[in-house]
Chain A
Amino acid sequence: MTTILTRMIARLLFPVTLVVALAMLIKSYVSVGDGFSAGVIAATGVSIQYVAFGYRDVEKRVPWLRFAPSAAFLGLLLALTTVFVPALRGDAVLTHLPRPGNEVTHLGTVELLTAVAFDVGVFLVVVGFTVTALSMIGRVAEEESS
């Protein structure tokens, strides 16, 4: 069992990691960071929860984590869509829009690009995979110890 201090810090860190991950994700095309890093940050946040509280508690407190496998596949679908949809229009695969030279719509500092959608897909796969793997191992371990 972990100490109360560990648990308190873990609890405080959770929203922070998620926000940092999200920020890094949407700004990935403009500054340091990418979908993969953002995914690893979010996954670290979740794994800290598992370490501090154990599998069963986390599953109770953060029920939406059970959507992790679906998130991974959704991400894969999103990424593969951005890869292959251009082929349907007759372009080379992975042709991103807007094309080079064209105007990019900005939302604050965020650029609206299909490449960013691809990056979001990567993010979802990374988070989904890590969380799924951790929760599976955590469950097996707790079942065996109990």
Chain B
Amino acid sequence: MPEGAVYVAPFVCGVFAVALVSIAGAIFPNRAGYLSSAMAVVTFAVLAWLWQDGGGTFNVAWAATLDLRLHFRLDGLAALYGLLASGIGIAVLIYSTRYLPLHLKHESRPIQDATRFFAFIVLFMTSMIGLVMAQDIILLFLFWDLTAIASYFLIGYDQHKREARSSALMALLVTGISSVLYIIAAAILYADYGTFSLPALFENAQPGSRLTLAAALIAVAGLAKCAQIPLHFWLPRAMVAPTPVSAYLHSAAMVAAGVFLLERFYPLIATSTILLNALLVIGMVSMTIGGILALTAPALKRILAYSTIAQYGYVVFMLGLGGEYGVSAASFYVIAHGLSKSALFLTAGTATEATGQDQLARLGGLLRSMPLLAVGSGLAAAGLSAFPLTIGFFKDELLFKASLERGTFFATFAVFGAALTLAYMWRFWRGLFLGPVRTEAKPVSPVLVWPVVILGILVFAGGLFSGGVAALAAAAGEAALLRPTPVEVAYHLDFRDVNLMALATYSLGVLIIVTRRWWESAARAMADAGRRFGPEYLYETSLAQLNRFSERMLEFEVRDLRRRVSTIFVPAALLMVVGLIVSPFPGEFDIGIVRRADIPLMVFLGLAAVAAFAATRPARHLPLMLALSSVGFSLAAVYAVLGAPNVALVAVLIETLLTVILVGMLTLFPREIREAMINLEIPRGKIQRDSIIGLVAGLFAFVIAWGALSRPSPNQGVSAQHIDLAPEAHAGNVVTAILADFRGLDTAGEITVVAIVMIGIVAFLRPRTAR
């Protein structure tokens, strides 16, 4: 075994889990949930154990000629995000073992569909682990796209709903198009530094405009994935997914991957203050707008979605702050947020399951019927609102510390953002559990309550024993910054700045809550305006316009055969014109001398030309076809004259087969239709237009052929080599030796394609009874 193979064990566990869940789940769909929960536990345990041991590196060549390596490293960042993805995964998967059968029943789908859900969740977890451990830009990209694909299937899990499909597509497009930016950045970096390896890159990176450009492209990819404004709109739409999917993707996995990317490439991003300032601004905008939208959104899950945008806005804000605290504080924040937010999403799922309602206005007073859930989610909400004795207190403490380092303005802003969080969390929790009972709750299974409670207890426990989380965050900060950073969290009962800021947050939060009456209409108007003119509107219109454009193109192209031919030939001719204009002209078009031996050749070429002209005359179909095929036969004769018997043979055979098939097709048409087609009156303008198109296309094909023939072929050497090698390959026939031996792989590929096309034909045309 290669050195360090043990460090890919968590990833291998995940791959094994995907296979196991898909195969075993196909046989026992009822067990897929338990199986995947167990596998998540195993993965989490292996990861934790390896991290306890200090982590390490696994590095083997994968495609050495392309400079690609399987390079994984379990460092602080990888441990943090990997443990988060698998740990929250356990809670969500256990919750789903009960939730999903109910969900499938509501949607009247068979239980067999459960397997797909669990397999994709586990696939997401696995690709997340691969992503965080990858130390190679291309490897990282593979896992990055794998998460996008898995999220597409998870968000669109209720595929019979149109909204689910379009939301899944939106998430895929927004995060997928931005991952194209990532690959462009990878190309820039490789061109400049000649390596895909991240450690080597960080070592050699020179600050400069090209590096800034690459880092900016990567940052956009990350920001799209963690739903930062203006690329945030896919996240609220993704709430059509089953609740466990939202709980997983939008608390601990998909959005976390976005921030992870920013942290992983932080050494590159941090070389440019412009980029850091851009992150600051984007973070602040996302915090504000996400917070305000969360204060107005009517649906439970939407509140949480906007809250996620705002919370990741904090994280991006902290990364933008930079400095000693920013990165490790951001890492700490991701853990605290992941724990709280997944619990809150699961709460929303349970409440909806119990009452059948998903709008806040129709819910309330659930405290009496579901006290445990109220306590669990209360702890989580308190954590997100940064109350003391929860892990959230420290996340805000670190936020305040980091922002103070940059100045009063940023500190004030941090307080404002935290106060918004407090306000919408209160709105969410109070709306669910206090007030009058609006919809009676049915009793629910304890499996739908206990994961929330346990996550809530973890949020609480994190506030008492925060050392482990702080150590992990410090390790992650070190991995991102490439130098040690301290994370110190503790309670101090005095009036230091950070504590005063916390007090200010609570008072401002309460103020926002009690003054709701005054600002509510303004906030709603803002939300409305955003929906109507914001980036989502832009996305929708541009998608619609693109669709319309492509439909128009298609309609233009396939209306009739002439159009189809001309859409190929006319642009080709135009490209030729461009090619002629930009390339040097003289010497390109030689006119050779005509020797006596060339006369037979000229005769056959002349015949081909005559036949081609004959084919343009209107006539009955059979003569037309024969004229066309005689063009082919004349050209075959040209090959024969040139001394290429095998090529001539193939040309003759293909021409024969085509003629026979065409005749066969003709016999399939009823006679009346054939007569009608002959007597069809073609408008004069159409004939003229088609002639011009034909002439233009022919002229430029002629020019390009002339240009190509004026120069000796650069491949002459290869042909000579083939001829020389033929006897050694025991071949008397060079062409066959090329097909079956020298270029045999090409042939193998081609016949494979032919076989696949055959499958397609059979699938389309087989008798309907057999379908």
Contacts and interface: CB of A to CB of B under 8 A. Distances in A.
Interface string B658-671: 00110110011010
Contacts of B667: 2, 51
B445 interface: no
Given A75-B751, A136-B761, A104 B730 contact: yes
Interface in A66-94: 69, 72-73, 75-76, 79-80, 83, 93-94
A47 to B, nearest CB: 5
B762 A136 contact: yes
B754 interface: yes
B729 A96 contact: yes
Interface string A117-133: 01101100110111011
B771 to A, nearest CB: 13
A122 B740 contact: yes
B654 interface: yes
A33 B654 CA distance: 13
A63 interface: no
A94 B749 CA distance: 12
Interface in A92-143: 93-94, 96, 98, 100-101, 104, 111, 113, 115-116, 118-119, 121-122, 125-126, 128-130, 132-134, 136-141, 143
B637 to A, nearest CB: 15
Contact of B653 (A44, A104, A116, A137): A44
A115 B765 contact: no
B739 to A, nearest CB: 6
A18 interface: no
B766 interface: yes
Interface stretch (B43-51, B157-165, B593-601, B642-650): B642-650
Given A36-B739, A43-B657, A115-B737, A30 B732 contact: yes
Contacts of B748: 79-80, 83, 94, 118
Nearest to A115: B740
Contacts of A47: 657, 660-661, 664
A132 B758 contact: yes
B705 interface: no
B741 A94 contact: yes
B729 A40 contact: no
B672 interface: no
A140 B761 CA distance: 12
A45 B743 CA distance: 29
A133 B664 CA distance: 13
B56 to A, nearest CB: 33
B757 A139 contact: no
Interface residues on A, range: 35 or more
Contact of A96 (B660, B741, B757, B761): B741
B656 A98 contact: no
Contact of B735 (A30, A34, A126, A130): A34
A122 B650 contact: no
A32 interface: yes
Contacts of A69: 758, 762
Residue of B650, B670, B740, B758 with highest tally of chain A CB at under 10 A: B740
Residue of B646, B664, B737 with highest tally of chain A CB at under 10 A: B664
B769 to A, nearest CB: 11
Interface residues of B, number: 42
Contacts of B653: 37, 40-41, 44
A129 B765 contact: no
A31 interface: yes
B691 interface: no
Contact of B660 (A30, A51, A79, A111): A51
Residue of B656, B754, B758 with highest tally of chain A CB at under 10 A: B758
Residue of B649, B650, B653 with highest tally of chain A CB at under 10 A: B653
Contacts of A125: 751, 754-755
Nearest to B670: A145
A116 B741 CA distance: 10
B646 A83 contact: no
Interface string B555-580: 00000000000000000000000000
A129 B733 CA distance: 25
Interface in B718-764: 728-733, 735-737, 739-741, 744-745, 747-748, 751-752, 754-755, 757-758, 761-762
Given A41-B653, A118-B744, A121-B751, A28 B733 contact: yes
Contacts of B728: 100-101
A132 B755 CA distance: 11
B767 interface: yes
Given A69-B758, A76-B752, A129-B754, A34 B657 contact: no
Contact of A119 (B740, B752, B766, B767): B740
Nearest to A30: B732
B765 A139 contact: yes
Contacts of B765: 136-137, 139-140
A29 B730 contact: yes
Nearest to B649: A37
A-B complex: 9 closest residue pairs judged by Cβ atoms: A136-B765, A51-B664, A100-B728, A34-B736, A40-B653, A125-B751, A30-B732, A115-B740, A141-B668
Interface of A: 2, 28-37, 40-41, 43-44, 47-48, 50-51, 69, 72-73, 75-76, 79-80, 83, 93-94, 96, 98, 100-101, 104, 111, 113, 115-116, 118-119, 121-122, 125-126, 128-130, 132-134, 136-141, 143, 145
Given A2-B667, A96-B740, A122-B739, 8 more contacts: A31-B732, A36-B650, A50-B664, A72-B755, A72-B758, A115-B729, A119-B739, A129-B758
11 contacts: A29-B730, A29-B733, A29-B736, A43-B657, A51-B663, A79-B751, A100-B729, A113-B730, A126-B754, A133-B761, A143-B767
